């Protein structure tokens, strides 16, 4: 029986090389996993910093823009507190936090229907413009697009971005005539035949602060057989025009009818399940 031979020098070197290579590969993989785990941990921590800053902004907005607050949500100056701010996170000084808070426009759910063009014949003396503009109801003062960027690291800095919408805080709103006021221009209560008046409605919360982007429904309440025509502004339900004449779609422009008497015009808004109506004084409509 042949005795077992030992390993040759070449075999020993090869075995040692394979063993060392295995240790090196294992060490590299372990180091890489630690590096990626650290990077993921930093990203998660940066995202947490961004979320905390976003909640801080929401809480600040509820305090200063809510019912009884000292500032208006739609006021750009008010948002200078955070817009463009660059600061170091107090709990994690290695993170730099940048904030941008810009106006953001939204549209009402019925925007597709509102894009259909509606017009009213106002007579020969006034010609409809070729383009009414965008008829959709836009909300431009009650939403902010907040973008928070968290940066860290030497050299090529890494960053995490968090983008969200911050809305005007829910207001305390009560169903009363004082909740809605209507401005008139000119401020007259008598209208000659064909004369018009511009109306603007403002909704206010229980503290008397204006509620931006409130949606209104206008209507005329006559005393008897009096009547006129409401012409709505494109994309803005807060204002309209009342004309002391009856405008009928596709009617003969030379045929203008009037219904003299007294009317009052109301603007209705519903907020938080509460419905309020504001009224103008009684308007006297004269006939020809």
First to last CA, the chain: 136
The answer to whether the CB of 97 falls within 8 A of the CB of 161 is no
CB neighbour class for 245 (10 Å; exposed up to 12, middle 13-18, buried from 19): buried
CB neighbour class for 43 (10 Å; exposed up to 12, middle 13-18, buried from 19): middle
Domains in the chain, CATH or no CATH each: 7-105+140-169 (no CATH), 177-285 (2.60.40.10)
pLDDT of residue 134: 55
Within 10 angstroms of residue 221's Cβ, the number of other Cβ atoms is 14
pLDDT of residue 155: 73
Instruction: Give the span between the Cα atoms of 14 and 21, in whole angstroms.
Output: 10
The closest alpha carbon to 229, from 123, 122, 129, 128, belongs to 122
The answer to whether the CB of 264 falls within 8 A of the CB of 280 is yes
Q: With a cut of 50, which residues of the chain have pLDDT below it?
A: 117-132, 250
pTM of the model: 0.68
pLDDT single digits (tens) 52-83: 999 999 999 999 988 888 888 888 898 999 99
């Amino acid at each position: 029986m042949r005795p077992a031979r030992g390993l040759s020098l070449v075999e020993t070197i090869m075995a040692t090389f394979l063993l060392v290579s295995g240790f090196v590969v294992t060490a590299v993989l372990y180091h890489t996993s630690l590096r990626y785990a650290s990077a993921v941990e930093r990203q998660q921590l940066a995202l947490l910093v961004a979320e905390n800053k976003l909640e801080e902004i929401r809480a600040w907005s509820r305090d200063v823009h809510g019912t009884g607050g000292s500032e208006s949500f739609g006021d750009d100056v008010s948002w200078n507190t955070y817009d463009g701010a660059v600061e170091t996170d107090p709990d994690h000084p290695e993170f730099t936090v940048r904030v941008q808070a810009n106006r953001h426009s939204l549209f009402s759910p019925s925007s597709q229907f509102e894009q259909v063009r509606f017009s009213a014949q106002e007579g020969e003396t006034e010609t409809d413009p070729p383009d009414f503009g965008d008829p959709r109801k836009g909300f431009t003062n009650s939403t902010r697009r907040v973008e928070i960027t968290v940066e860290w690291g030497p050299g090529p800095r890494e960053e995490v971005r968090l983008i969200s919408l911050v809305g005007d805080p829910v207001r305390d709103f009560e169903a009363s005539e004082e909740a809605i006021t209507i401005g008139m221009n000119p401020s007259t209560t008598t209208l000659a035949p064909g004369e018009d008046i511009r109306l603007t409605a403002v909704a206010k919360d229980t503290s008397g602060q204006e509620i931006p982007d409130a949606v209104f429904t206008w209507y005329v309440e006559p005393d008897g057989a009096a009547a006129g025509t409401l012409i709505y502004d494109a994309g803005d339900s807060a204002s309209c025009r009342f004309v002391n004449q009856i405008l009928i779609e596709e009617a003969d422009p030379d045929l203008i009818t009037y219904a003299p008497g007294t009317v009052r015009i109301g603007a209705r808004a519903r907020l938080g399940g509460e419905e309020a109506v504001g009224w103008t004084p009684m308007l006297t409509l004269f006939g020809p």
